[in-house]
A = this chain, B = another copy of it.
Amino acid sequence: MISDATPPTDGYVPPAVDVPALTALLDGEYGEIRDLVRANLSTHASVLEEAEELGIDAFRERVRELAVELAATGQTGMGFPKEYGGGGDVGASIAAFETLAYGDLSLLVKVGVQFGLFGGAILHLGTERHHRAHLPDLITGKLMGCFAMTETGHGSNVQALGTVATYDTARQEFVITTHGDAARKDYIGNAARHAELAVVFAQLEVDGKKEGVHAFVVPIRVDGRPAPGVRIEDAGRKMGLNGVDNGRLWFDGVRVPREALLNRFADVTPDGVYQSPIENPGRRFFTMLGTLVQGRVSVGGGAINAAKVALTIATKYAVRRRQFEAAADGEEQLLLDYGMHQRRLLPLLARTYALHFAQDVVRTQLHEVFSGNRSADQGDDEQVRRELESRAAGTKALGTWHATRTIQECREACGGAGYLAVNRFAALKADSDVFTTFEGDNHVLLQLVAKGLLTNYANEFEDLDQLGMVRFVTGQAVETVIEKTSVHKLLERVRDLLPGGDEGDPEVGLLNSDYQLAMVRFREEHMLASLARRLKRGMDEQRDPGAVFSHVQDHVIAVAHAHVERLILEAFIDKLRTLPDDGDEGSNGGDGNKSALGLLCDLFALSAIESDRAWFMEHGRLTVQRSKAISREINSLCRRVRPLAVDLVDAWGIPPEMLRSPDLVD
């Protein structure tokens, strides 16, 4: 089905997209759970209006009620072991979460808080006693809980939390205390209203010795009232996500039994001896944190799907809305037939597809690491886990920024209509805004990604000890870093891919995915080597490590960005290579689907190179002629994708009720 195509020029015949086959391809192995979520979204579609119409209190109750109803269908418990009533499939739990992002995002985040953060902490940090006590009821939503990590004074730097848990050997209890307002737990989802239990992260002190941050199960509410010693404050109205009851918590000598410590990675014996199979305290803490990586994978995937909703509305509007005569026949021209409008929407569409496949990769890796053996103990392959953590962080950062940018562009592309709440952008924009911040601030996450690259994942992932990192990097011979990155070989490789060398026809080879890959790989590795040199130089000049880091911080972010973008492009190209050619047996009926995806992959790759073309020119990897040729090729690709645009958004399979926008998409 070809939607409102512009008259083909240059004899171009657009590939015929088989929408159901493309949906099946995108849904992958999780078609069943995604369809369950789609059905649930349609059943409860009224929540989109309720988000606007109900007051905060009523809407919070409604969202809680819906979370419990979803739980009854099994969609929210996929990540828990079957013996406790879960689905026993980590990958499916992420896929379900991603799909839920087509709908109201308060409901999404409520589900994330309850089943991902709270449930995930019980599951991954606790042991059988905690599982038996809490999993059955939290999976059904009967028991609501919260994840009390962030404090007012400490968000990203979790190691510096101020809440303290002191072991009282005489009574075999921990005593939990908030020291000062900077140490109050803040922004905690589920805390203001619904949570009975909290997983509280606090500095453990045993026998006067500080053992670092550990997690405790703490009752914070009994019969709807704050538990003794617990003070709860509502965090109040937020930009969006007002169906989630975020709150603040203070603990004034709150006592919990010794068994309240989530003791998978450390324990305290009744007589007050601290024990852990992981000797290094930092490593222990970051191993705990690492088990929570699913939160980042979830948020990244949710953000990418929120972007799909925005793009679907804007694309459908752009093939419906006409403005200004542009041809001599007197009829006004469709928005999507304007070159600029194509430029605004279609590279974002291509990038959304690219991120979708990158999300597939990180979800699959998560599933593999966490399935069967859900242990994160030493026996595990640490390198694999750290690379997963890095990929999760990077995909989350680029995915959430992409969502913010895409939703904004789509709103503007729908003009004044985009400003009306009924047309979805109001909620999409307000609700998704904090995705760039929660589950790890994007800038901090990218610094962690860069740290992993610089140190070859030698350190714990979450440990952003800048001084240590600077010293570590400069302590190695910089040549080691550079050699590992094999910049020189890559440089040759890129040149080899240009027929006739740099001086040849600037348009030759642009659509060769080996060329595209070589470019983004070169960028990443050149940036990495250059960053290592800068760090080394700074230290050689005897400057303070903090100042050295601050001076190169823009390079740190840039190298991480380049790394993640390389992973995204690889994911897209790898996916394409697994597909049978159009028309071949096994092409799943999609006669033009591979060709259509090929166009999108080229559009994504060249757009990514174009937006950083200054860097490529500065580093001798792009001639002026070729840089201009890339921009021309992108315009040409936009014209080729344009007739497929509606099919490409339809293939995401967003339930029509989720789009609302009665005047925009019908």
A residues neighboring B (CB under 8 Å): 9, 52, 150, 152, 154-157, 160, 186-187, 235-240, 323-328, 332-333, 337-340, 343, 404, 408, 411-412, 415-416, 418-422, 425-426, 429-430, 433-434, 436-438, 441-443, 464-467, 544-547, 549-554, 556-557, 613-614, 617-620, 624, 627-628, 635, 663
Contacts and interface: CB of A to CB of B under 8 A. Distances in A.
Given A327-B546, A419-B238, A467-B328, A628 B635 contact: no
30 contacts: A150-B416, A156-B323, A157-B324, A187-B416, A237-B422, A239-B411, A239-B420, A239-B421, A239-B426, A239-B430, A325-B466, A325-B467, A326-B466, A328-B545, A338-B553, A339-B554, A340-B553, A340-B557, A404-B408, A408-B408, A411-B433, A416-B434, A418-B437, A426-B430, A429-B429, A429-B433, A554-B635, A614-B617, A617-B627, A619-B624
Contacts of A236: 420-422
So how many copies of this chain end up in the complex?
Answer: 2
Given A152-B663, A433-B419, A437-B418, A549 B326 contact: yes
Contacts of A418: 437
A443 B156 contact: no
B186 A239 contact: no
Contact of A238 (B235, B420, B628): B420
Given A404-B408, A628-B618, A552 B339 contact: yes
A240 B443 CA distance: 28
A467 B326 contact: yes
Contacts of A340: 443, 550, 553-554, 556-557
B437 A412 contact: yes
Contacts of A419: 187, 238-240, 433-434, 437
A391 to B, nearest CB: 22
Contact of A323 (B157, B333, B436, B549): B157
Contacts of A624: 617-620
Contacts of A332: 157, 160
A548 to B, nearest CB: 9
A155 B415 contact: yes
Contacts of A551: 339, 635
Nearest to A468: B325
Contacts of A420: 187, 235-239
A425 B437 CA distance: 14
A9 B541 CA distance: 14
Nearest to A619: B624
Describe A's contact surface by its main secondary structure.
helix
A438 B416 CA distance: 7
A340 to B, nearest CB: 4
A294 to B, nearest CB: 20
B437 A333 contact: no
Contacts of A343: 553-554
A338 to B, nearest CB: 5
A440 B284 CA distance: 57
Contacts of A617: 614, 617-618, 624, 627
Contacts of A434: 416, 419
Contacts of A160: 332
A155 B416 contact: yes
Contacts of A613: 614
Nearest to A322: B153
A150 B417 CA distance: 11
A437 B418 CA distance: 10
Contacts of A323: 154-157
Contacts of A619: 624
Nearest to A408: B404
A572 B553 CA distance: 30
Contacts of A635: 551, 554
Contacts of A186: 416
Nearest to A181: B663
Nearest to A328: B467
Contacts of A339: 550-554
Query: 7 shortest A-B CB distances, which residue pairs?
Result: A326-B546, A239-B426, A614-B614, A237-B421, A340-B553, A327-B546, A339-B553
Contacts of A337: 550
Contacts of A441: 412, 415
Contacts of A235: 420
A236 B553 CA distance: 45
A154 B417 CA distance: 11
Contact of A425 (B239, B404, B618, B627): B239
A524 B415 CA distance: 28
A443 B549 CA distance: 40
A544 B438 CA distance: 50
A187 to B, nearest CB: 5
A149 to B, nearest CB: 12
Given A418-B437, A441-B415, A327 B544 contact: yes
A554 B160 CA distance: 49
A338 B553 CA distance: 8
A239 B426 CA distance: 4
Contacts of A628: 618
Contacts of A157: 323-324, 332
Residue from A156, A323, A442, A614 having most chain B Cβ neighbours under 10 A: A614
Contacts of A422: 236-237
A604 B154 CA distance: 33
A112 to B, nearest CB: 15
Given A237-B420, A338-B553, A419-B437, 20 more contacts: A236-B421, A236-B422, A239-B429, A325-B467, A325-B546, A326-B466, A326-B545, A326-B549, A327-B544, A327-B546, A327-B547, A328-B467, A333-B546, A339-B550, A339-B554, A343-B553, A411-B433, A412-B442, A416-B434, A418-B437
